[in-house]
């Protein structure tokens, strides 16, 4: 009887370990944090974070970060692409919040770090089994050529600054990922402080994001101008202007980026 019990326990052990390593793809812990501390502003084109209140609730954020850090690379590799990308976007945003809280109060994320190490190069978190920094997460994993090839991630990852696309008050989830990315894109493009049509110059004045990551938009649509033209209805209500944009009859200039804390 004891021998049978031992065999049974040995057979069940791998299943139990798998259950312990299961990940909540609803990102519920992060959802609670975002819902409590993020507020939409400017008709839903921007958002702010109550960092002072979040600092008092830092344990809630830390529970989610611990959940992220516990995911082994092998488990991650077995997930669907949408699950992976939602995980990575949420991880970037959550660890950015952590970085701000660890240095709060401050006026800008760029005030963090030392003169030889900017905040995006600081290895301050564990993810997928290794010590990592934010640039590595974004540029070497999320933007790795051939992995996801999704330019709309630039409107989803948030750098805790006014110039950034809004941090959503909900986590990204696989089942809604395409709709959430599209919504984030449209909200950002509708923000006239960061993207607008300049009729007198017949040009689009757009966020510096489009200059920094132009190669991603080129790859997705053939050129940045073609990608922007695909969203012509968001830049103007004038059908003539929309038609002009679709024809590519416009120039582009890049606006200065506001690195002030999105507080």
Helix axes 81-103, 28-37, angle to 10 degrees: 50
Q: Which residues pair with 117 in a beta bridge?
A: 114
DSSP state of 146: T
pLDDT band at 195 (very low <50, low <70, confident <90, very high): very high
Give residue 21's pLDDT.
59
Instruction: Identify whether the C-beta of residue 164 lies closer than 8 Å to the C-beta of residue 109.
Output: no
pTM: 0.91
**Cα(178)–Cα(10) distance, rounded to whole angstroms?**
42
Give residue 115's pLDDT.
74
Average pLDDT, the chain: 93
Q: Which residues pair with 126 in a beta bridge?
A: 131
**Cα(49)–Cα(62) distance, rounded to whole angstroms?**
17
pLDDT tens-digit profile of 134-173?
999 999 999 999 999 999 999 999 999 999 999 999 999 9
pLDDT band at 3 (very low <50, low <70, confident <90, very high): low
**Cα(84)–Cα(53) distance, rounded to whole angstroms?**
30
pLDDT tens-digit profile of 67-87?
999 999 999 999 999 999 999
**Cα(8)–Cα(135) distance, rounded to whole angstroms?**
46
Q: Answer whether residue 228 shows pLDDT above 50.
A: yes
Q: Answer whether residue 94 shows pLDDT above 50.
A: yes
Instruction: Identify whether the C-beta of residue 98 lies closer than 8 Å to the C-beta of residue 125.
Output: yes
pLDDT tens-digit profile of 107-138?
999 999 877 789 999 999 999 999 999 999 99
Give residue 180's pLDDT.
98
pLDDT tens-digit profile of 98-107?
999 999 999 9
Structure tokens at 99: 């970085």
Candidates 111, 141, 135; CA nearest to 122 is 135
pLDDT tens-digit profile of 6-39?
444 444 444 434 434 599 999 999 999 999 999 9
Give residue 19's pLDDT.
36
Query: Tokens 């400017």 label which residue?
Result: 42
pLDDT tens-digit profile of 36-60?
999 999 999 999 999 999 999 999 9
CA dihedral 225→231→236→241, nearest 10 degrees, is: 50
């Amino acid at each position: 009887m004891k021998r049978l019990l031992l065999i049974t326990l040995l057979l069940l052990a791998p299943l139990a370990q798998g259950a312990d390593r299961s990940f909540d793809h609803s990102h519920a812990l992060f959802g609670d944090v975002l819902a409590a501390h993020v507020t939409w502003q400017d008709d839903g084109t921007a958002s702010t974070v109550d960092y002072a209140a979040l600092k008092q609730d830092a344990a809630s954020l830390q529970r989610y970060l611990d959940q992220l850090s516990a995911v082994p690379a092998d488990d991650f590799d077995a997930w669907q692409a949408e699950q992976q990308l939602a995980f990575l976007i949420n991880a970037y945003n959550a660890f950015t919040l952590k970085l701000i809280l660890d240095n709060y109060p401050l006026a800008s994320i760029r005030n963090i770090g030392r003169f030889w190490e900017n905040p995006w190069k600081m290895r301050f978190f564990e993810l997928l089994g290794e010590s990592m920094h934010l640039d590595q997460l974004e540029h070497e994993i999320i933007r790795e050529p051939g992995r996801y090839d999704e330019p709309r991630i630039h409107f989803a990852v948030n750098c805790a600054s006014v110039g950034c696309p809004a941090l959503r008050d909900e986590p990204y989830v696989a089942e809604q990922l395409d709709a959430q990315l599209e919504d984030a894109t449209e909200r950002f493009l509708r923000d006239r402080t960061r993207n607008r049509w300049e009729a007198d110059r017949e040009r689009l004045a757009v966020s510096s994001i489009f200059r920094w990551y132009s190669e991603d938009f080129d790859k997705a649509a053939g050129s940045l101008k073609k990608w922007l033209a695909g969203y012509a209805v968001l830049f103007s209500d004038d059908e003539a202007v929309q038609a002009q944009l679709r024809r590519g009859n416009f120039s582009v200039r890049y606006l200065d980026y506001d690195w002030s804390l999105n507080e």
